[in-house]
Structure 1
Amino acid sequence: MAKAVQADRERERWMNHIFPGGFPALWCPPITHYREDGSLDVERIEGHLAWMSGWVSGFLVPGSTSDGWEMSEDEEDQWVDLALRVAEEKGLFLWIGVLRGRGDEAAARIRQWMDRLAPGGAEDLMKRRIAGFAVCPPRGPGVTQDRVYDDLRQVAETGAPLCFYQIPQVTQSRVEPETLGRLIEEFGNVLALKDSSGEDRCAASAEVRGHIRLMRGAEGDYLQWWAEAGGIYDGFLLSTANAFGEAYARMFDAWRKGDKEAAQDLSRRLTAVMEKAFGLAQTLGVSNAFAAANKLIDHFYAHGPGAVEISGPRVRGGQQIPTLALEETGKVLREYGLLPERGYWAK
C-alpha cells in the first residue's frame, strides 16, 4: 500500500510538472500527408497541425492513424521533429509513439529519444512540450498477462513518463485491468492510458480509474464517455479530431454552458459521419482504413466544398484516393451539416 501511495504522489508531481494548466480534453493522432513518391509532405503536415491547434491541445506522433506501425525509424524521426516544431510554436503537447517491438526494444527506443530530445530529463521534456511516450502491449494473440506485465515493466523502468496504448485490433493483445493496476501501483511514471478497444474495461476498473488519466480512442457516442458529462474518461485521443476539432470544442462548450441538447446533437452527427466515412474507406482496399476515412474528411476541411475538384489525398505508398469516394464523403458531410464553408488549405 505504501508503494502505491508513493507512486500516486510521484504521478501527480509528473502531471503538475507537464500539465500545469490541467490535463487536456482533446488529443489527436494526426494523419500523415504523402507526396506522389511516398515521402512525407512536410509543408502539408505542418499546415494541418497548425490548423488543428486552434482546438486540439496535443498530438500522438506517430500514432496508428499516422501509419505509425509501418514507418521506418527515419520517418518516425522526421515526423516527430516537425511535430515538435509546431508544438513548441503553438504551445501544444506531444506523446511520442513507440508502437512496435518487445519491451526491451521499446525501452531502448525511448532511451534513444530521451538522449536526443531531452538529455536533461523532466525539465527538457517540459521545454520541448513532450508529454511522454505512448507504448503498446506486446503483439500476438497468445500473449499472456505475465508477458504483458514484463514487457511494460521494462518500459516503465526507463523512468520516462508513459501513456499505455490499448489497441487490440492491431496488437491482437491487451493489457487487462489487473495487470495495468499492478503497473500503476509500482511505477509513478505511468501517467495515462489511451484505450481504442471499445471495451472500456480498464477505464471502468477501480484499479485504474482515479489513478491515471484516461483517454478514449474508440470513436462514436462521444458525449456519454466524457467525465464532465458523467462518463468515465478524462478526455479523448481521436482520429476524427483531424477534421472535427472545432466541432468537438463546440460540443464541450455547449455542455459546459448547459445546452445539453446541442451537445448531444453534435455527438450524434459526428458519430454518424464517422461510421459512414469508415464504411466507405473499408471499400478502398487500403491497409489503414481509419487513416483513409480521416483523409477523406480532412480533404474537405482543407479545400472546402469544392474539394472534389482537387486531386484526392494519398495513402501510404502513394496511392491516390479516388474521386468517387470524395464525392460520397461530401454528400455525407452535407447531409449532417458538417461541410465547411471554406478550406484551411485553400490557395
Structure 2
Amino acid sequence: MSNVDEIKQRLRGVSIAPVITPFKEDGSVDYNTLESLIDWQIKSGSHAISVTGTSGEPSSLTPEERVKVMETAMKAVDGRVPFLPGTGSTNHEETKYLTKKAAEIGADAALVIVPYYNKPNQDALYKHYKTIATSVDLPIIVYNIPGRTAVNLEVDTLAKISKECPNVIGVKESNKDFEHVNRVLLKCGRDFLLFSGIELLCFPMLAIGGAGSVSATANVVPEKVAEMHDAWNNGDLKRAQELHYELMPLNDVLFKDTNPAPAKVALGLMGKIHPALRLPMDLPSKELQEEIKSVLENYVELNEGASITR
C-alpha cells in the first residue's frame, strides 16, 4: 500500500483539530503551551492535528516561526495521530518552501490554502497547485475558503488538479454552498477526501460521503467534536445528530468575530492559554467576551477567576 493510500485510510471519518498558535504576553510564540495544547487535544480524542491553518494565524507568523511551529507540533504529536500542517500562503515560492519543509519533518500531509488577497483565476490556481503537488513527495489537501481568500476554487479546477496529481488526496471545503461540495465528490470521485470547514456542515457533510471535519470548535471542546465523528463511524446516527445540535450554540458564538479570536477568548477562560493575537487582529469586544463566557460555561468548567482584557 502506498503512503497516499495509507494516509487516505487514516484520514477517513476523523475530526482534525486546527490548533491555535498561542502567544506570550510579549507577543512571542509560546511553544511550550502549543505542545501542551496538542497533548490535550490528542488525549481528548481528536483524531488528527493541524497547525498554521486559519485558526493558527499563519499570516501573523514569519516563515521561520511557521517552520518552528510545525517542528514543535510534529514533536508533540509524536506519531500518535496524523499530522497535517498548513503550508499555504499568498506567495507561491513561500508555499512551496513550507510544503517541502513539512515533507522534510515527516508530516503525513500538508493543508494548502487557496492563495488569499491576490484573487488568481482558475488557470493560475491549477498551475499553482500542480507545481506545489509535483514538487513534493507528500499527500496534499487543498483548502478552499472563499470567504477569506476572495476566490472560489471551482469544482472543475479541483477535479483537474486531483486527476493530474495523485498526491492531491482531498479538500477542506469552508464553503457554504452545499451544492458545490456535493459536486466535489461527483467530479473528483467518492474516494476523494472531503472535509468540512464549516461548523454547521460537519455532520451533513458526513451524510454525503465526506471524510470528516477541520473545525475550529475542536480547539475548545475536542472531545465533543471527536465524539460526533465516532458516533457516525459506529452507526449511532441519533447520537451524532444530537451532538450536531448540542454544538450549535458554541459554533455560533465562536464565529461572531473573526476566527480564532473567539476561540482564544474561550481557551483563556478555560485557563489553557494567555489569550492574545497579533495585530492587525485583536480580541473581541467586552460584550462578545461576556457572551462567549455565558455560552461556554454550558460546555466546560471555566478557570475560576479567569478574565480577559482587550
Identify the match of residue 142 of structure 2 among 150, 164, 174.
Answer: 164
1:84 corresponding residue in structure 2: 74
Is the CA contact 1:203–1:233 (under 8 Å) kept in the aligned structure 2? no
Q: 2:246 matched to 1:269?
A: yes
Alpha-carbon shift at residue 99 of structure 1 (Å): 1.8
Q: Distance in 2 between matches of 1:211 and 1:19?
A: 8
Identify the match of residue 316 of structure 1 among 278, 281, 305.
Answer: 278
TM (normalized to structure 1)?
Answer: 0.76
1:307 corresponding residue in structure 2: none
Uncovered stretches (5+) of structure 1, i.e. residues with no partner: 1-11, 118-124, 283-288, 304-310
Alpha-carbon shift at residue 323 of structure 1 (Å): 6.5
Q: Distance in 2 between matches of 1:102 and 1:19?
A: 28
The equivalences for 1:1-347 within 5 A come to 13-18=2-7, 21=10, 23=12, 25-54=14-43, 55-88=45-78, 91-114=80-103, 116-117=104-105, 125=106, 130-140=107-117, 142-160=119-137, 161-200=139-178, 201-205=180-184, 206-226=186-206, 230-255=207-232, 259-279=236-256, 282=257, 289-302=258-271, 313-317=275-279, 325-334=288-297, 337-340=298-301
Uncovered stretches (5+) of structure 2, i.e. residues with no partner: 305-310
User: How many pairs does the alignment contain?
Assistant: 300
Is the CA contact 1:104–1:154 (under 8 Å) kept in the aligned structure 2? no
Is the CA contact 1:184–1:211 (under 8 Å) kept in the aligned structure 2? no
Give the stretch that moved more between structures: 175-184 or 291-300. 291-300
Alpha-carbon shift at residue 74 of structure 1 (Å): 1.6
Q: Distance in 2 between matches of 1:255 and 1:132?
A: 24
Deviations 1:66-112 (A, max 9, x none): 10122101210221111011111x61221121221344442244335
Q: Distance in 2 between matches of 1:257 and 1:268?
A: 19
Q: Distance in 2 between matches of 1:273 and 1:113?
A: 32
Q: Which amino acid aligns with 2:268?
A: H
Give the SS at the match of 1:47.
helix
Q: Distance in 1 between matches of 2:8 and 2:123?
A: 32
Give the SS at the match of 1:278.
coil
Q: Distance in 2 between matches of 1:241 and 1:113?
A: 23
Identity %: 21
Alpha-carbon shift at residue 189 of structure 1 (Å): 0.9
Is the CA contact 1:312–1:322 (under 8 Å) kept in the aligned structure 2? no
Give the SS at the match of 1:131.
coil
Is the CA contact 2:265–2:283 (under 8 Å) kept in the aligned structure 1? no
Alpha-carbon shift at residue 325 of structure 1 (Å): 4.5
